[in-house]
């Protein structure tokens, strides 16, 4: 770990949106507070939910916790990307880490993330996300190659500390200066509460970062572990089908932004190497009479087909100008409210937890392509 990475160098951002995850939110914050490498602060960003904002502000109003945990209102339009941008704008650390609101981090999570920043060229570091199944174990039909469906590290990624194209958004960290160079997360792509489970906002950002800083290194260290809760509804094939279709739509948006060559570079390896091996493994298990083998093989084939359909439709919509998303610079701010045309969120109840200023997106991508970064790209972290 470099000398510049102090024990107080991390701001941890947790984006929240529903009271239904109240206990999960408290558990996520508690896991950050118990880190062996204490963060400078934890930023809870509430996505346009006044009641949740009030409850969390009250929960962490104790003077002992006041500076340790700050509660903010999303200063931009509804959605995960704007929530993350709000947290980035308010952050005081040299590094900004992101943790899902339904996940808990192991005690050395931040320690391992920090240790990977051993040179100024390292701009992002992610970790390993393990599923915590509501049923207590993985469904027999659910292939490990598709664990990204439930927000977890999937089979096919190399072990150890490795260079990647992009990190996984629910278990990721960036140098704060990365956002100065590349801008923030794009709005119009990614999660929006309980609506269709789109994604890939971190993929688009990481590719854009590599374009802005051609020498940038992005890593995953599988020792930086979090455990991501998988509710029972997400253990069903219906959710699997919906999520892989949404992933196809999302990948079309990424290709629209950065070009298909970079936007799908890692996906080509995934579909031509990782997934065929998974099908053969599943068929082999079925022939040996092992439970779930045929189901896993079928799920992989179905998943590829459904995702391809989503990608085709998303590409068609983009060509017709039916989709657009925006990104732009993030203004550092210690307080204030959204300005420059950005949708304004609710104001937190205490003066230190007000929504920061987030500049309006400077770049809108309708149906045109932005050239990708030059040079080779390492393995991707999402399919």
| pLDDT score at 344 | 31
Whole-angstrom CA distances from 131 to 42, 148, 228, 238, 370 are 23, 10, 5, 18, 35
Element (H, E) at 302: helix 293-319
What's the confidence (pLDDT) of residue 205? 92
Token pair, residue 258, equals 């950065």
pLDDT computed for residue 189 by the predictor: 64
Virtual torsion, Cα 302, 307, 308, 312, nearest 10 deg: 140
Residue 103: phi and psi, rounded to 5, are: -135, 155
Question: Is the dihedral angle over the CA atoms 360, 171, 65, 47 positive or is it negative?
Answer: positive
Q: At what angle do helices 293-319 and 275-287 cross, to 10 degrees?
A: 150
pLDDT score recorded for residue 333: 66
Q: What is the mean pLDDT of each run of 10 residues along the chain (383 residues)?
A: 55 97 98 96 97 96 80 93 95 97 98 96 98 97 96 92 93 96 83 57 91 96 98 96 90 72 68 92 94 96 95 83 70 51 32 38 37 36 54
pLDDT, tens digit, 9 for 90 and up, residues 143-175: 999 999 999 999 998 899 999 999 998 999 999
Task: Report the Cα 283 to chain-centroid distance in Å.
Answer: 32
**pLDDT tens for residues 336-381?**
333 333 333 333 333 334 433 444 334 444 332 322 333 333 445 5
State the number of CA atoms in the 13 A half-sphere of 257 facing the CB: 31
∠19-22-28 over CA atoms, to 5°? 135
What contacts 2, CB < 8 A, 6 or more positions away? 117, 118, 119, 120
What is the predicted pLDDT for the residue at 84? 96
Q: What are phi and psi of 4, to 5 degrees?
A: -75, -15
Element (H, E) at 296: helix 293-319
Confidence at residue 353, expressed as pLDDT on a 0 to 100 scale: 40
226, burial (CB in 10 Å: exposed 0-12, middle 13-18, buried 19+): buried
pLDDT at 328: 78
Give the closest residue to 142 by CA, choosing from 296, 323, 246, 276: 296
- Phi and psi at residue 133, to the nearest 5°: -70, 135
Distance between start and end Cα atoms, the chain? 30
In order of 42, 111, 264, the CA distances from 10 in angstroms are 9, 10, 31
Please give the pLDDT value at position 9.
Answer: 93
Which residues, in sequence order, are CB contacts of 109 under 8 Å at separation 6+?
31, 35, 127, 224, 225, 226
Tokens of 127: 């970790």
CA distance 78 to 345: 9
């Amino acid at each position: 770990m470099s000398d510049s990475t102090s024990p107080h160098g991390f701001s941890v951002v947790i984006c929240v949106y529903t009271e239904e995850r109240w206990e999960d939110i408290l558990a996520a914050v508690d896991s950050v507070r118990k880190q062996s490498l204490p963060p400078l602060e934890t930023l809870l960003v509430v996505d346009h939910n006044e009641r949740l904002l009030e409850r969390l502000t009250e929960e962490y109003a104790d003077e002992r916790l006041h500076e340790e945990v700050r509660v903010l209102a999303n200063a931009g339009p509804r959605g995960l990307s704007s929530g993350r941008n709000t947290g980035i704008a308010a952050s005081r650390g040299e590094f900004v880490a992101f943790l899902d609101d339904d996940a808990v981090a192991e005690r050395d999570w931040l320690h391992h993330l920090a240790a990977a920043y051993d040179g100024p060229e390292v701009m992002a570091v992610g970790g390993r996300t393990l599923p915590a199944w509501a049923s207590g174990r993985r469904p027999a039909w659910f292939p490990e190659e598709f664990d990204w469906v439930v927000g977890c590290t999937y089979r096919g990624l190399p072990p150890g500390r490795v260079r990647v194209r992009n990190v996984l958004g629910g278990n990721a960290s960036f140098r704060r200066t990365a956002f100065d160079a590349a801008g923030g997360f794009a709005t119009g792509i990614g999660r929006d509460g309980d609506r269709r489970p789109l994604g890939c906002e971190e993929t688009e950002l990481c590719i854009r970062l590599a374009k802005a800083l051609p020498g940038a290194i992005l890593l995953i260290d599988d020792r930086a572990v979090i455990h991501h809760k998988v509710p029972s509804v997400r253990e069903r094939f219906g959710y699997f089908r919906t999520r892989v279709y949404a992933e196809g739509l999302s990948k079309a948006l990424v290709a629209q932004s950065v070009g298909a060559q970079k936007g799908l570079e890692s996906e080509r390896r995934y579909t031509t190497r990782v997934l065929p091996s998974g099908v053969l493994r599943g068929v082999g298990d079925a022939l040996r009479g092992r439970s779930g083998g045929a189901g896993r093989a079928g799920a992989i084939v179905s998943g590829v087909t459904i995702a391809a359909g989503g990608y085709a439709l998303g590409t068609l919509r983009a060509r017709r100008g039916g989709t657009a998303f925006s990104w732009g610079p993030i203004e550092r701010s210690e307080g204030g409210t959204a300005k420059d045309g950005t949708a304004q969120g609710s104001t937190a109840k205490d003066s230190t937890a007000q929504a920061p200023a987030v500049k309006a997106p400077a770049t809108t991508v309708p149906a045109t392509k932005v050239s990708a970064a030059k040079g080779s790209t390492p393995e991707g972290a999402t399919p």
